[in-house]
Amino acid sequence: MAFAFQRKKIVILGGGCGGVVAATHLGRKLGADHDVILVDRRAEHIFMPAFLFIMLGERQPRDISRSLRLLEKRNVKIIQSEILGIDPVRREVSLEREKINYDYLIVSLGLQTRPDLVPGFAESSQHPWEIESAVRLHDTLASFNGGRVVVGVPLGPYRCPPAPYEAQWMLDGYFRQRGIRERVEIDYFTREAEPIGEAHDPTVWMDAESKRRGIKQNYEFVVRSIDPERKVVQGLYNYRIPYDLLVMVPPHRPAQVLLDSGLADTETGIRVD
């Protein structure tokens, strides 16, 4: 008995690194016989790991962006739209102008920045975790001539865990290159405990490298709020860290559409097995 061929529809949500890699692979392998669709609110893929280089002016936004339409030659259909809803029961995704059904769904929306979760963050801190914010931080650094720079990490998950250490070291090098490092004090705070162990352990090595560069490390510091007028980061137990320039990782949470659909059941997103 011959079986009728059934064309399947694979929908990928998110045009970041994960979504682009999945779309490229599936388009090459399956795109001739099945529908591979990628949905993102942007028309371009933006390479997030390069945001730190935007911060220092070593890259421009155009250097780290590529049109998602380039994937069309890999048998991938691109839809530019906000994602308004996901119905896992009906296997349907609601977009701004249409609804699309799917046989298979790949969710690669990542974590979204949520500055509103720390009182005072929006008025006080700059950061390179979004491309527009990285550009603004570059402009601020260009006119910064001395004082205390504080790099910090909030509670909860965030994109690219090594980046706060990289940011410390890149700022250290940036100020040295400008010849003003002796006028700049760099502090770092994190909710994590001070690392212990062998020197080859990555966290121990990173701690030692920061201290070698003269960067003060503040461990087990849990942020409660930021006072933009007094320029102070307020922690638990009345601990405080003053700053002249605050470069703090914004809190992150799963995309709201995942929470609304019930797909995300942890603060990091969808639980996987």
Summarised one tens digit per residue, pLDDT across range 106-143 is 999 999 999 999 999 999 999 999 999 999 999 999 99
Looking at residue 181, which CATH number applies to its domain?
3.50.50.60
Percent of the chain scoring above 90 in pLDDT: 89
Number of domains comprising the chain: 2
Whether 267 is covered by a domain: the verdict is no
Same domain for 121 and 248? yes
Block residue for tokens 């527009």: 132
> Cα angle vertex 181, ends 232, 249, to 5°?
40
Q: 163-178 vs 202-212: helix axis angle to the nearest 10?
A: 20
Whether 272 is covered by a domain: the verdict is no
Same domain for 122 and 190? yes
Name which of 59, 19, 21 is nearest 42 in CA terms: 19
* pLDDT 10s digits, 6-36: 899 999 999 999 999 999 999 999 999 999 9
* pLDDT 10s digits, 203-229: 899 999 999 999 999 999 999 999 999
Q: What is the pLDDT of residue 1?
A: 46
Averaged pLDDT for residues 156-182: 96
> Which residue range(s) make up the domain with 239?
113-252
